[in-house]
Amino acid sequence: MKINENFLKIQSSYLFSNIAKKVNAYVAANPDKPIIRLGIGDVTRPLADECITAMHKAVDHMADEKTFMGYPPEYGHSWLITAINENDYKSRGVELDNSEIFVSDGAKSDCGNIGDIFSLDNRVAVCDPVYPVYVDTNVMMGRSKDMLYMPCTAENGFLPQIPTEKADIIYLCFPNNPTGMAITKDELKKWVDYANANGSVILFDSAYEAFITEDNVPHSIYEIEGAKTCAIEFRSFSKTAGFTGVRCGYTVVPHDLKVDGVELNALWARRQATKFNGVSYITQRAAAACYTDAGKQQIRDTIAYYQKNAKVIYDGLKSCGFTVYGAVNSPYVWLKTPDGMKSWDFFDLLLENIQVVGTPGEGFGPSGEGYFRLTSFGSAENTAKAVERIKNYFGK
């Protein structure tokens, strides 16, 4: 009997546990000093009323013999897939067939599971700093070649440089977690051209597309000519519609995307049908409700709430002289620590002096050192309070 020893190679995810340990110790020693958490990547606003109403109705369907649903279709109910296709793609000029859209329980699982359809003998390229799931899932599978880390720092505008060596699988996440920076259509076109020229596959994580405000930033990689022959796209209702606890997302694998003549769509369909049993009917009804007129408006209102928080943080930091990035197309604000401070030292400074908790950039990769992430997912009241504390402490 042998275990999968690749699991032993994964660096234990110390980032959030380390933060929790430090915060808990501080709270125990200073019970009179209330903490404000701007480090969380989880949403806090409740679901849209339209989603709640749809879920209640769906529960009633499950209670009635005539409308009860057993196993859902493996790739999603057709009414949800059609709503996704028309609203998220057709409306942006992207033509997809419904069979190219696979509904799932979220982008994290899909980003992790997609590795099943690729040989272990591929070279993977990831941004640095990075959403850790891309790295850890490849290590777990035992992908044998050294990973290519593409630094994203202020010097290159937080955009990875096209590699000089060949990368087979390229993870791109825009708008980016953690930097909050977006990619323009022109910049993304360079990646599509590289992938098509080299036979690479781009895994495009678009989990934060709902936060895009600028016209030259694509919501989908398929807005870029040539993307259907080189890219898979991951989407999620988590940050778009507050589904982090409900669980729903989807992945697009175009039929035109082929490796050695084999359609990746067929491989992903096989993978999902074998290892995944579909998303609950109640959840899919909630997801479909996001596309009604009222649902769209309610979701936009919630996004606007977080966007306002992001602006409050961004403007507040700027007014104190910080160098700040992100926020414009993202719920994340990425700041340069003052005087070249290490990101964990800056974490301690904020915690001990003003009781504000954020996330040290170094936790997302070596190129995150010297940076710090704040998020807009808290309440407006707490966000304003935290920014006041920052201004009082750092303001001139």
Coil, strand or helix at 341: coil
User: Beta strand pairing status for 258-259 and 249-252?
Assistant: unpaired
Q: Which residue from 106, 129, 360, 361 is in contact with ligand PLP, where contact means CB under 6 A?
A: 106
Tell the smallest beta-carbon distance from residue 375 to ligand PLP (Å).
10
Coil, strand or helix at 323: coil
- Backbone φ, ψ for residue 366 (5° rounding): -55, -35
Q: How far is CA 151 from the centre of its chain?
A: 18
Q: Which residue from 108, 123, 143, 228 is in contact with ligand PLP, where contact means CB under 6 A?
A: 108
CB closer to ligand PLP out of 42 and 345: 42
Q: Which of residues 323-382 bind ligand PLP (CB under 6 A)?
A: none
User: How big is the CA angle at 104 (ends 99 and 110), to the nearest 5 degrees?
Assistant: 100
Q: Which of residues 122-151 bind ligand PLP (CB under 6 A)?
A: 131
Q: Which of residues 174-213 bind ligand PLP (CB under 6 A)?
A: 177, 205, 207
Tell the smallest beta-carbon distance from residue 373 to ligand PLP (Å).
11
CB closer to ligand PLP out of 281 and 364: 364
CB closer to ligand PLP out of 140 and 320: 140
CB closer to ligand PLP out of 58 and 248: 248
Q: Which of residues 254-273 bind ligand PLP (CB under 6 A)?
A: none
CB closer to ligand PLP out of 182 and 390: 182
User: Beta strand pairing status for 324-326 and 332-336?
Assistant: antiparallel
Q: Which of residues 236-255 bind ligand PLP (CB under 6 A)?
A: 236, 238, 244, 249
Classify 87 in phi/psi space as left (phi over 0), alpha (psi -120 to 50) or beta.
alpha
Structure-token match 């589904």, residue found:
243
Q: Which residue from 19, 51, 80, 107 is in contact with ligand PLP, where contact means CB under 6 A?
A: 107
Burial class (CB in 10 A: 0-12, 13-18, 19+), 365: buried
CB closer to ligand PLP out of 131 and 281: 131
- Backbone φ, ψ for residue 283 (5° rounding): -65, -45
Binding mask 30-69 for ligand PLP (x = CB under 6 A): -----------x----------------------------
CB closer to ligand PLP out of 108 and 219: 108
Cα distance between residue 127 and residue 116, in whole Å: 21
CB closer to ligand PLP out of 212 and 390: 212
Tell the smallest beta-carbon distance from residue 39 to ligand PLP (Å).
12
Amino acid code (one letter) for 91: S
Q: Which residue from 173, 212, 264, 289 is in contact with ligand PLP, where contact means CB under 6 A?
A: 173
Yes or no: say if 368 and 361 are a contact pair by the CB < 8 Å rule.
yes
Cα dihedral sign for 257, 230, 112, 88?
negative
Q: Which of residues 216-235 bind ligand PLP (CB under 6 A)?
A: none
6 binds ligand PLP (CB under 6 A): no
Yes or no: say if 114 and 133 are a contact pair by the CB < 8 Å rule.
no
User: How big is the CA angle at 345 (ends 344 and 349), to the nearest 5 degrees?
Assistant: 115
Tell the smallest beta-carbon distance from residue 174 to ligand PLP (Å).
9
Amino acid code (one letter) for 270: R
DSSP classification of residue 219: S
How many residues bind ligand PLP (CB under 6 A)? The answer is: 14
Tell the smallest beta-carbon distance from residue 239 to ligand PLP (Å).
7
Tell the smallest beta-carbon distance from residue 103 to ligand PLP (Å).
12
Which of these, 187, 181, 216, lies nearest to 202 by C-alpha position? 187
Task: List interacting residues with ligand PLP (CB under 6 A).
Answer: 41, 106-108, 111, 131, 173, 177, 205, 207, 236, 238, 244, 249
